[in-house]
Structure 1
């Protein structure tokens, strides 16, 4: 069965792990600009039937402030079943719709369980200091959560705030100890509202022996 939803095919508005749990932002898919006339329940049923997941955890997201309506891959990512990295604004940054979205996601995840009944372990992944990054633009996306997992490496954004870049690399290395963590400068992509994961399509790797 084909997935008859706009937005879900890109692997960005919905993100899962291999034990049946899917995270998704409501703003990006229960939205008249992508799936007019479809309710959240209808969309959830279609995701479960087509993707084979057992549980969908809905996060609010942010509507109308970027081209994606807040894809989940810039907000929260699995590192293992039951373990997630959650984007966090740089300490001291004034609250905005994005930090409130992260707060809402934390509230939901802290009370939710995954498909196996486990409580989520939530690890903060702080953003860089916007006064120290090398990129610019009103649409600039400064989240480290939009990383890409390859067979033997994780490609992460490098924004130019040396301390924050290193902190993010250390967090990723802790959670992906068998992969090289490769920082990549992405100012051009980020200035257009995108990231590394946004620009890729995952390909299945050869199963471990």
Structure 2
């Protein structure tokens, strides 16, 4: 697979000067830009190589192994472009990921969470692609983000497509879309002064709908200040298709803040209707009874999966009953896709999962 800096040069030569930051993107012939659902065919998956011991400390080597495993797994189904911050990291990533993964050093990153830092891609239904930046600010200033704040712009520039800056601050993992007019989000993440100080929920909703090309937003309260994301929706509730969502519910004997939040999301979504007036069908997925990790920030989510061309890549936690049940649920929800379960405990001990570490680029 060719290294993409050369491809970037060819795009420059073919397309000419790219739009400036903040350029308006209204679609062709008045067509509406919309963020599609995750299950559309992909051109590629974007990822980022963790290299900073200041972020990961002694966990860095293990997290790198998990990112390499995810990259190799996804690359069996669709191209993967993995960004590394410098030449040393490029060499490490290539050695770990192998020749099936394209590693580039032209888009520097601070950390690995590409779902939150990458451009969110949109289509206009006429074969055109653009991107929107959600103005990443380090999850409300919780982490240094000098390079990550530029990733969305750099990825759009790399592809030679227009970039529009949203009129709110958020992350890709904070908003779940069905691609048919409905989005989900937690209030704790977006209606938060660390991201959108002085903005009302109604105003944030207006701007999210404008950026995503959607008509209805379903809010759940979420959990504020307990994790770096302020409780992203993509850990607990995910769209399967328009009108159908999956929600992971914890064992009955758990009553911590995350368990209460999951049950509340299940109840709210079970009573909700989408932009087309459909009563949502909610598929319950049971969370694991036991996990191998002792990390206090461990994310035990089967639903932080990444859809790729022909497969669903998700986690397993060593709990035979719930691992098998989650595999069956995902196979039934996404017929025709192979379900691949990975042990990525070290990554998930860092507070995120497979969906958090990936961003899909749809075919226009």
TM range (shorter): over 0.9
Matched, 1:168 2:326: yes
Structure 2 portions without partners, runs of 5+: 1-163
Of the candidates 144, 167, 172, which is equivalent to residue 4 of structure 1?
167
Moved more, 94-103 or 65-74: 94-103
Matched with 1:112 is: 272
d(CA) in 2 for partners of 1:134 and 1:98? 18
Task: Quote how far apart the aligned CAs of 1:22 are.
Answer: 0.2
For 1:205 and 1:84, the matched residues in 2 are separated by: 23
Alignment of 1:138-153 (within 5 A): 138-153=296-311
Equivalent position SS for 1:123: strand
Whose Rg is larger? 2
Aligned partner of 1:98 in structure 2 is: 258
Deviation at 1:175, TM superposition (A): 0.5
Partner residue of 1:58 out of 219, 222, 225 = 219
Deviation at 1:107, TM superposition (A): 2.3
**Cα distance, 1:108 vs structure 2:** 1.6
Measure, in 2, the Cα distance between the counterparts of 1:30 and 1:188. Answer: 30
Instruction: Assess if the C-alpha contact under 8 Å between 1:151 and 1:205 holds in 2.
Output: no
Gap runs ≥5 in structure 1: none
2:191 equivalent in structure 1: 30
**Residue matched to 2:312:** 154
Contact 1:147 1:157 in 2 (8 A): yes
SS in 2 for 1:199: coil
* C-alpha RMSD of matched pairs (Å): 1.3
Contact 1:139–1:193 (CA<8 Å) still a contact in 2? yes
Give 2:203's aligned residue: 42
**Whose helix proportion is higher, 1 or 2?**
2
Secondary structure of 2:183's counterpart equals strand
